[in-house]
């Protein structure tokens, strides 16, 4: 009882303690939940129809596409440029597929498993041509090969001890097939949706007849024009209210799907100093001496020189060489060299040494049998001799080849197959022998690695000039000292001007130039320079404040320094009126309308075309023929086409006088003096043309329809924060 009484006497205190403990527990959970939500938000890369995608999900799609691309095209690691293109491709495909899937679900459109299997069975998708399951004779997709592969793969999955290399290959092909099968279903759904959309546009008889009439009814007019240039811009006053009103009227054309940022920036190109140039000239002079020395090893000299053009000890076409070298090589005699000389086009110093010129076939058709002499050179020599004797006795080449487990098929060797590659000595020996061999002859070629090639040349085509040429091409580049000097000077300037107005006020006298750019979230590059990803992310980061100046970034090929200032942020779906291009467009429209109103006032009292032609600055009366509603009339005296004039002429009959027609380049007045129809008949050909016209309109409408759906989807693209 005493304990109970103590508890009762301390009740208020206990309630407070328990309440605080409970609050702390709830607060802790709330903070944890808030932190988790914030972390998820930071990982969100996109949102469509209110559904979020995190960066891990998107990367999975990109990795899948990258693996397929590398497998299909035999590529190793993809470059950053290729990866960026791949991410854009994956994103665009994801958006389109998501939109179509959303619309299809609302319409009840589906693709069943049976439909997918039917497409595969009957080869009704071009995606199937990307698989290795192809008929060797026809090249067509072979469903039997696919079924055999799937059976073999399933069996291998259940067996232990399979060769690792074989399993890796089978896993790659199976992953490719899963990708193809998934996309066949997506493709089929897209075709169903597009078919439904396209079939909603019909070419009914009334539409066909109206379209034909628009083309066949023609009129002749007398026309006078008063160009807008007759009214001075200085006489036109434009208010902010008028600009805003015109902006609202034209607003749909300023619609954008991506957020934008306005920036001002200074881009500093790091250039070689005079000292850098002199040092390179000295190095190149030494290289020139080495190349000119008797018995020079051209391959070694060119390699050690750091030339961007490798030396090929085989004759090559001029097209293999850089453009500027190719343009000059014909003027250089054999056995001589030119340079070092500067080429401003690519900022390089160059040396060219022409050792020989040849007239050789660009393409050689041949058959080969290779005899491996690595294990026993003598046995290989005897085998090769017996093959040569059999061929000399008239034995068919392909029959002999099959005897030695080779196909002996005719094949073409072209210059492009070896000119740009790093050719090993054995291959060079073989190429030299093939180029020198006459058509219709057979020869035995013994290679340094003891392999023996029996070679028969069937044809030699397209004889071209080829060169044995050594080229040394070096960029006139800056040194580390020059880079550091440039960076320090720029860094001091930026540190002393930490406000945008200071940067702009002092840039020119310091030798810098402040430039402007509007970036969308999918541009990827700042100032059209490569390697600007980090700066791009800074510009679009939510934490970057207006008028904040960035750090200095090293961009391009590590040869540019750039600093930027965020001057404008637009996350709406419309480019704002504050944008210079939008302001110029809107202002031009307002000025044109005001000029048109002024000209119309002058025209109001005119009773005929002749009176309009007497207005100051008006064009003389002109006769325009064959005007129809279906196409804009071209006015030679103005040098412009005017759809508005075509529409106004089509609306009135013979004898009518109309003035005050506002066009793109001026205001027009006209009188219809004749009308009729051309000789065309509304026959089957005309109907077909009109149907094609309606189909074109339907395709254009379908394209705009997808854009409307993208707007409705509420797409949020935040890739710029991750890549």
Place of tokens 């001496």: 289
Report yes or no: 701 and 201 within 8 Å, Cβ to Cβ.
Answer: yes
Nearest CA to 79 among 89, 66, 90? Answer: 66
- What pLDDT, on a 0 to 100 scale, did the predictor assign at position 339? 86
Q: Is 283 helix (H, G, I), strand (E, B) or coil?
A: helix
Decide if pLDDT at 455 tops 50: yes
Decide if pLDDT at 197 tops 50: yes
Report yes or no: 651 and 657 within 8 Å, Cβ to Cβ.
Answer: no
Mean pLDDT over residues 348-357, rounded? 93
Contact partners, residue 326, CB within 8 Å, separation at least 6: 318, 319
Mean pLDDT over residues 636-655, rounded? 89
Instruction: Give tens-digit pLDDT for 675-720.
Output: 888 766 666 665 666 667 667 777 777 777 877 888 888 888 888 8
- What pLDDT, on a 0 to 100 scale, did the predictor assign at position 374? 75
Report yes or no: 550 and 538 within 8 Å, Cβ to Cβ.
Answer: yes
Mean pLDDT over residues 623-628, rounded? 89
Nearest CA to 341 among 327, 328, 353, 351? Answer: 351
Helix, strand and coil in the chain, % to nearest 5: 50, 20, 30
Q: How far apart are CA 631 and CA 634, in angstroms?
A: 9
Instruction: Give tens-digit pLDDT for 296-350.
Output: 899 899 999 999 998 888 888 888 889 999 889 889 999 999 989 999 989 999 9
Least confident segment among 350-359, 426-435, 691-700: 691-700
Decide if pLDDT at 507 tops 60: yes
CA 639, 642, 648, 652: dihedral to nearest 10 degrees? 50
């Amino acid at each position: 009882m005493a304990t109970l009484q103590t508890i009762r006497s301390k009740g208020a205190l206990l309630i407070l303690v328990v309440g605080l403990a409970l609050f702390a527990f709830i607060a802790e959970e709330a903070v944890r939940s808030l932190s988790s939500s914030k972390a998820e938000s930071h990982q969100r890369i996109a949102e469509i129809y209110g559904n979020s995608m995190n960066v891990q999900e998107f990367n999975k799609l990109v990795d899948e596409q990258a693996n397929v691309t590398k497998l299909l095209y035999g590529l190793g690691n993809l470059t950053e440029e290729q990866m960026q293109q791949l991410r854009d491709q994956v994103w665009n495909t994801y958006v389109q597929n998501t939109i179509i899937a959303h619309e299809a679900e609302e319409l009840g459109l589906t693709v069943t498993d049976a439909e997918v299997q039917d497409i595969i069975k009957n080869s009704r998708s071009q995606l199937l041509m990307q698989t290795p399951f192809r008929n060797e004779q026809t090249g067509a997709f072979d469903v039997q090969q696919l079924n055999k592969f799937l059976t073999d793969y399933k069996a291998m999955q259940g067996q232990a001890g399979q060769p690792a290399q074989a399993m890796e290959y089978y896993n790659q092909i199976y992953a490719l097939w899963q990708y193809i099968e998934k996309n066949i279903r997506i493709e089929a759904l897209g075709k169903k949706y597009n078919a439904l959309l396209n079939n909603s546009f019909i070419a009914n008889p009334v539409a066909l007849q109206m379209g034909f009439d628009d083309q066949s009814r023609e009129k002749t007019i007398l026309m006078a024009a008063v160009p807008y240039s007759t009214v001075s811009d200085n006489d036109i006053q434009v208010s902010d209210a008028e600009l805003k009103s015109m902006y609202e009227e034209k607003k749909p054309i300023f619609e954008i799907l991506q957020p934008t940022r306005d920036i001002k920036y200074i881009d500093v190109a790091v250039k070689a100093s005079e000292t850098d140039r002199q040092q390179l000239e000295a190095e190149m002079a030494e290289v020139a001496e080495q190349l000119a020395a008797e018995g020079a090893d051209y391959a070694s000299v060119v390699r050690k020189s750091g030339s961007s053009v490798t030396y090929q000890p085989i004759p090559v076409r001029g097209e293999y060489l850089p453009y500027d070298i190719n343009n000059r090589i014909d003027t250089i005699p054999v056995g001589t060299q030119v340079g070092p000389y500067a080429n401003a086009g690519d900022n390089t110093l160059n040396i060219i040494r022409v050792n020989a010129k040849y007239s050789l076939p660009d393409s050689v058709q041949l058959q080969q049998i290779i005899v491996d002499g690595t294990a026993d050179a003598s046995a290989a020599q005897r085998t090769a001799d017996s093959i040569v004797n059999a061929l000399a006795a008239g034995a068919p080449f392909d029959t002999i080849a099959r005897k030695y487990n080779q196909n002996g098929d005719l094949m073409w060797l072209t210059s492009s197959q070896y000119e740009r590659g790093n050719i090993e000595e054995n291959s060079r020996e073989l190429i030299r022998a093939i180029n020198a061999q006459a058509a219709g002859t057979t020869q035995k070629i013994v290679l340094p690695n003891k392999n023996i090639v029996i070679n028969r040349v069937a044809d030699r085509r397209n004889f071209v000039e080829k060169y044995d040429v050594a080229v040394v091409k070096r960029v006139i580049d800056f040194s580390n000292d020059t880079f550091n000097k440039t960076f320090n000077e720029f860094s001091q300037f930026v540190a002393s001007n930490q406000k945008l107005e200071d940067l702009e006020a002092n840039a020119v006298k310091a030798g810098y130039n402040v430039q402007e750019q509007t970036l969308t979230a999918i541009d990827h590059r700042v100032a059209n320079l490569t390697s600007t990803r980090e700066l791009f992310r800074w510009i679009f980061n939510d934490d970057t404040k207006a008028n904040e100046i960035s750090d200095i970034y090293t961009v391009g090929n590590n040869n540019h320094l750039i600093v930027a200032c965020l001057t404008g942020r637009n996350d709406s779906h419309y480019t704002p009126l504050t944008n210079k291009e939008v302001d110029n467009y809107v202002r031009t429209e307002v000025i044109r309308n005001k000029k048109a109103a002024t000209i119309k006032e002058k025209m109001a009292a005119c009773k005929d075309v002749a009176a309009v032609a007497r207005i100051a600055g008006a064009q003389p009366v002109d006769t325009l023929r064959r005007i129809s509603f279906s196409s804009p009339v071209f006015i030679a005296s103005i040098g412009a086409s005017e759809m508005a004039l075509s529409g106004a002429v089509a609306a009135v009959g013979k004898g009518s006088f109309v003035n005050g027609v506002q066009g793109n380049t001026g205001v027009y007045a006209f009188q219809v003096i004749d009308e009729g129809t051309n000789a065309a008949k509304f026959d089957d050909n005309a109907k077909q043309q009109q149907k094609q016209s309606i189909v074109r309109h339907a395709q254009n409408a379908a394209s705009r329809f997808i854009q409307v759906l993208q707007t409705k989807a509420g797409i949020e693209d935040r890739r710029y924060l991750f890549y």
